[in-house]
């Protein structure tokens, strides 16, 4: 493979955003160069080795539906899979996988190395080549110049990165990796708004020093779900359990005792941390009435003894870290393998970006991932894919593409970021989407794969699997609509005992499936053969059971638009409205908006929250 003199697209950074960006661009046929500090850290998980979870799995499935790597790598590297909220409605159901960080990284690297049109190169990028207001390429640490009219920057937590443990701090992009200082300096010269954020990670523990017998075991689900729409059960490696333990009053006393040497509480760290992934010192301050917090003990892989204690991220001094860990049940003799730390880094105000993630002021320069103020692999991967595909579109002179809020969580995230910006690390939640009955994780392929195919990102294998599924759904819906069960027949007898109102007239199988007491397995074999494709069966069931709700939601959204001018009573008691997050409740109390329209324009008040206000108003009237 010749090394081209010029590229169509250069991607800087081989984290979660960078790998998806490079793959998307290359899949679309653009000559793409991925330049990153270290080839060994391609796809590295800086923090928790887990992918998915509420809101986040929706993004992973959307990346997957558009041909991305994250879902496949999760299937190949996942060692414990669970479907969260499985008893709730499908809109909030979310797949979460604990990953073996080595297997995950290996899977990402294999996908990258086998992607045509993609070149990898190990070097730090120190500078951008500019011509007026347009980017023309990058310059590496060694002074090598690579040219391209499109450059996607995905530098993660590395720009001006500073690591804190207690009162000590030093430059770094994450533990063990150098910070990106020259590039950060160069970017600060551009007319873009830049701020600092902070995130943190817990100390890692040697499993051989932990007593699991006093902890609660949490096995994965069986049958093991897949993250990718083209995944198969046999893709997964050996599955193992996670465990749960708790902090206690002694843990909290130890933490209190160390706060005078905490970089966060002595003002050394200025960047704002993630509200939804707070450090343990933050948690005991913010939730002072709680004398215990859950700690999930998660294995880092099948071939390592390292454990990730999820819930005790900290930048306290090492002696306090050791004491606090050893105060937790089952960890009395714990050996810390790596200390926890916090990291501060530069991020750029995403309000300076277009929906394509191209910067408004520098033509051809795109930003994706943590650099835009988000947190999480999934948020980064989704932005990377979008920036990469738009960079490729630009390289062939085509219009950019960004999904709308009613098409994808990717659209919700980008709209949130570029409209409201963010003052704290942004993470995805299902509550951020007003169309969440439509934007489910199970139908991400039905929403996006066809578009991905048009854009050139979906290969023949994925397209064939998708077409078979789509056709399978259509055939099965037709079969269920045209197969009937009659009263007083053996078929009716098979289900009557489950039904509040037994079969009293002729019903189609589809009508029966709408009944809450029956599921697909109950009715599909009453006439003819059920389908053996799990995804088809799931889709037919969800579509039949929730169609009414989905239609109602669509109507509700239409009405919401008309209700822009609806007045909110001055004395409105926001504590009385269930479902609002504390953050939003506080913002509403601070501003006390006069109308729903005004409420919607308050930064951070989501369209989903506006729906809740509307419902509350209706109940009052």
Q: Please, what is the minimum distance in Å from the beta carbon of residue 188 to ligand FAD? A: 14
| Three-state SS sequence of 296-349 | EEEECCCCCCEEEEECCCCCCCHHHHHHHHHCCCCCCCCCEEECCEEEEEEEEC
H or E stretch at 35 = strand 32-36
Is residue 273 marked as binding? Answer: yes
Instruction: Tell me: is residue 274 an annotated ligand-binding position.
Output: yes
Does 199 participate in binding ligand FAD (rule CB under 6 A)? yes
Question: 283: annotated binding-site residue?
Answer: yes
Integer Cα distance of 191 and 172 in angstroms: 25
Among 201, 224, 251, 544, binds ligand FAD (CB under 6 A): 201
CB-nearer residue toward ligand FAD: 205 or 580: 205
What lies within 8 Å, CB to CB, of 37 at 6+ separation is 13, 14, 122, 123, 124, 158, 173, 177, 178
Reduced 3-state DSSP string for 186-247: HHHCCCCCEEEEEEEECCEEEHHHCCHHHCEEECCCCCCCCCCCCCCHHHCCCCCCEEEEEC
Tell me which stretch binds ligand FAD (CB under 6 A): 194-202, 280-288, 591-599, 609-617.
Answer: 194-202
Establish if 158 lies at the interface with ligand FAD (CB under 6 A): yes
Give φ, ψ of 338 to 5 degrees.
Answer: -140, 135
Q: Which of 73, 380, 446, 608 binds ligand FAD (CB under 6 A)?
A: 380
Q: Is 17 annotated as a binding residue?
A: yes
- Among residues 13, 203, 258, 330, which is the contact residue for ligand FAD, using CB under 6 A? 13
Shortest distance (Å) from residue 150 CB to ligand FAD: 17
DSSP state of 259: G
Identity of the residue, 46 or 443, whose beta carbon is nearer to ligand FAD in the bound complex = 46
Q: Scan residues 228-287 and list those touching ligand FAD (CB under 6 A).
A: 277
Does position 200 interact with ligand FAD (CB under 6 A)? The reply is yes
Contact status, residue 160 vs residue 347, Cβ threshold 8 Å: no
Q: Out of 8, 9, 11, 15, name the contact with ligand FAD by CB under 6 A.
A: 15
Q: How many DSSP H helices and E strands does the chain contain?
A: 19, 23
Confirm or deny that 180 is annotated as ligand binding. Answer: yes
Q: 565 and 595 in contact (C-beta within 8 Å)?
A: yes
Of 180, 314, 395, 431, the one binding ligand FAD (CB under 6 A) is 180
**Per rule CB under 6 A, is residue 154 in the interface with ligand FAD?**
yes
Dihedral of alpha carbons 551, 555, 560, 561, sign: positive
Q: Does position 18 bind ligand FAD by CB under 6 A?
A: yes
**Which of 301, 307, 305, 327 shows the shortest CA–CA distance to 316?**
327
- Is 521 annotated among the ligand-binding residues? no
Nearest-CA neighbor of 444 among 417, 477, 422, 411?
411
**Binding of ligand FAD by 74 (CB under 6 A):** no
Contact between 377 and ligand FAD by CB under 6 A: the answer reads: yes
End-to-end CA, the chain: 70
CB 428 within 8 A of CB 383: no
Residue 57 interacts with ligand FAD (CB under 6 A): yes or no = no
Under DSSP, is residue 399 helix (H, G, I), strand (E, B) or coil?
coil
In the set 30, 33, 148, 155, which binds ligand FAD (CB under 6 A)?
155
Q: Does residue 373 interact with ligand FAD by CB under 6 A? A: no
The residue within the footprint of ligand FAD, chosen from 28, 70, 108, 125 (CB under 6 A), is 125
Q: Does 204 bind ligand FAD (CB under 6 A)?
A: no
| Nearest alpha carbon to residue 546 among 508, 516, 526 | 516
Q: Distance (Å, rounded) from C-alpha 607 to C-alpha 563? A: 12
152 or 433: CB nearest ligand FAD: 152
By beta-carbon proximity to ligand FAD, the closer residue of 48 and 98 is 48
279 is in an annotated binding site: yes
Instruction: Tell me the closest approach of the beta carbon of residue 411 to ligand FAD, in angstroms.
Output: 19
Residue 568 to residue 576: CA distance in whole angstroms:
14
Parallel, antiparallel, or unpaired: how do β-strands 118-122 and 32-36 relate? parallel
Cβ neighbours for 572, distance < 8 A, ≥ 6 positions apart: 588, 592
What is the C-alpha to C-alpha distance for residues 254 and 282, in angstroms, rounded to an integer? 14
Between 140 and 566, name the residue whose CB sits nearer to ligand FAD.
140
299 belongs to the binding site for ligand FAD (CB under 6 A): no
For the CB of residue 172, give the shortest distance to ligand FAD in the complex, in Å: 9
In whole angstroms, the minimum distance from the beta carbon of 43 to ligand FAD comes to 8
Q: Does 174 bind ligand FAD (CB under 6 A)?
A: yes
Please report how close the Cβ of residue 233 comes to ligand FAD at its closest, in angstroms: 27
Q: Cβ of residue 299: shortest distance to ligand FAD, in angstroms? A: 17
When binding is defined by CB under 6 A, the residue of 92, 124, 227, 242 that contacts ligand FAD is 124
Q: Does 428 bind ligand FAD (CB under 6 A)?
A: no
Which residues have C-beta within 8 Å of that of residue 9, sequence separation ≥ 6? 22, 25, 30, 31, 32, 33, 148, 150, 151, 152, 388, 391, 392, 395
In angstroms, what is the minimal distance from the CB of 374 to ligand FAD? Answer: 7
Whole-number minimum distance, CB 153 to ligand FAD, in Å? 8
Binders of ligand FAD among 24-53, rule CB under 6 A? 35-37, 41, 46-48
- What is the Cα–Cα distance from 131 to 147, expressed in whole angstroms? 12
60: contact with ligand FAD by CB under 6 A: no
Binding track over 309-328 against ligand FAD, x by CB under 6 A: ----x---------------
* Spatial CB neighbours of 370, under 8 Å, sequence gap ≥ 6: 15, 17, 155, 156, 157, 345, 347, 380, 425
Distance CA 282, CA 548 (A): 43
Binding flag, residue 162, ligand FAD (CB under 6 A): no
The rounded distance, in Å, linking the Cα atoms of 394 and 246 is 51
Residue 313 and residue 203: Cα distance in Å, rounded? 7
Q: Which stretch binds ligand FAD (CB under 6 A): 7-15, 212-220, 283-291, 386-394?
A: 7-15
Q: Which span (87-95, 207-215, 376-384, 541-549) binds ligand FAD, by CB under 6 A?
A: 376-384
Best CA proximity match to 604, nearest among 621, 617, 619, 590: 590
For ligand FAD, the binding residues (CB under 6 A) are 12-18, 35-37, 41, 46-48, 124-125, 154-158, 173-174, 177, 180, 183, 199-201, 277, 313, 343, 369-370, 375-377, 380
Q: Known binding site for FAD: residues?
A: 13-18, 125, 180, 370
């Amino acid at each position: 493979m010749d090394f081209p003199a010029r590229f169509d697209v250069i991607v800087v950074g081989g984290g979660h955003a960078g790998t998806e960006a490079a793959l998307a661009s290359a899949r679309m046929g653009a000559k793409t160069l991925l330049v990153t500090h270290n080839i060994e850290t391609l796809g590295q998980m800086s923090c928790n080795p887990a992918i998915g979870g509420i809101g986040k799995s929706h993004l992973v499935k959307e990346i997957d539906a558009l041909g991305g790597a994250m879902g496949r790598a999760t299937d190949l590297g996942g060692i414990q899979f669970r479907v969260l909220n499985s008893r709730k409605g499908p809109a909030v159901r979310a797949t979460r996988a604990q990953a073996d960080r080595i297997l995950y990284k290996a899977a990402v690297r294999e996908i990258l190395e086998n992607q045509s049109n993609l070149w990898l190169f190990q070097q730090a990028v120190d500078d951008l080549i500019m011509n007026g207001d347009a980017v023309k390429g990058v310059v590496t640490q060694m002074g090598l110049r690579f040219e391209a009219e499109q450059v996607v920057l995905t530098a993660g937590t590395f720009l001006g990165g500073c690591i804190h443990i207690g009162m000590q701090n030093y430059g770094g992009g994450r533990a063990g990796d150098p910070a990106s200082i020259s590039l950060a300096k160069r970017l600060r010269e551009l007319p873009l708004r830049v701020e600092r954020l902070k995130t943190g990670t817990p100390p890692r523990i040697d499993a051989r020093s932990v007593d699991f017998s006093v902890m609660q075991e949490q096995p994965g689900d069986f049958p093991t779900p897949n993250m990718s729409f083209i995944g198969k059960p046999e893709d997964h490696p050996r599955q193992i359990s996670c465990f749960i333990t708790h902090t206690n009053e002694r843990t909290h006393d130890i933490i209190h005792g160390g706060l005078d040497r905490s970089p966060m509480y002595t003002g050394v760290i200025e960047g704002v941390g993630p509200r939804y992934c707070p450090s343990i010192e933050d948690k005991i301050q913010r939730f002072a009435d709680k004398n215990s917090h859950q700690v999930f003990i998660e294995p880092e892989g099948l071939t390592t003894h390292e454990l990730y204690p999820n819930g005790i991220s900290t930048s306290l001094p090492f002696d306090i870290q050791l004491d606090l860990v050893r105060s937790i049940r089952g960890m009395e003799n714990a050996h810390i393998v790596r200390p926890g730390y916090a990291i501060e880094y530069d991020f750029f105000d995403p309000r300076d970006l277009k929906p394509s993630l191209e910067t408004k002021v520098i033509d051809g320069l795109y930003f994706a991932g943590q650099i835009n103020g988000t947190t999480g692999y999934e948020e980064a991967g989704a932005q990377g894919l979008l920036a990469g595909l738009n960079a490729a579109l630009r390289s062939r002179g085509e219009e950019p593409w960004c999904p709308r809020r009613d098409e994808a969580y990717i659209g919700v995230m980008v709209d949130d970021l570029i409209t409201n910006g963010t003052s704290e690390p942004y993470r995805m939640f299902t509550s951020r989407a007003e169309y969440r009955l439509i934007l489910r994780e199970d139908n991400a392929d039905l929403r996006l794969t066809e578009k991905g195919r048009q854009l050139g990102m979906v290969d023949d294998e994925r397209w064939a699997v998708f077409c078979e599924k789509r056709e399978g759904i259509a055939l099965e819906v037709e079969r269920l609509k045209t197969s009937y069960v009659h009263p007083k027949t053996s078929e009716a007898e098979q289900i009557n005992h489950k039904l509040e109102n037994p079969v009293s007239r002729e019903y189609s199988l589809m009508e029966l499936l709408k009944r809450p007491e029956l599921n697909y397995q109950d009715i599909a074999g009453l006439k003819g053969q059920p389908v053996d494709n799990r995804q088809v069966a799931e889709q037919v069931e969800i579509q039949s059971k929730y169609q009414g709700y989905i239609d109602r939601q669509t109507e509700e959204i239409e009405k919401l638009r008309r209700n822009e001018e609806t007045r909110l009573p001055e004395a409105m008691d926001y504590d009385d409205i269930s479902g609002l997050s504390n953050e939003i409740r506080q913002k509403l109390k601070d501003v006390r908006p006069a109308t729903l329209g005004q409420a919607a324009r308050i930064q951070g008040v989501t369209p989903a929250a506006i729906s809740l206000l509307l419902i509350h108003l209706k109940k009052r009237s």
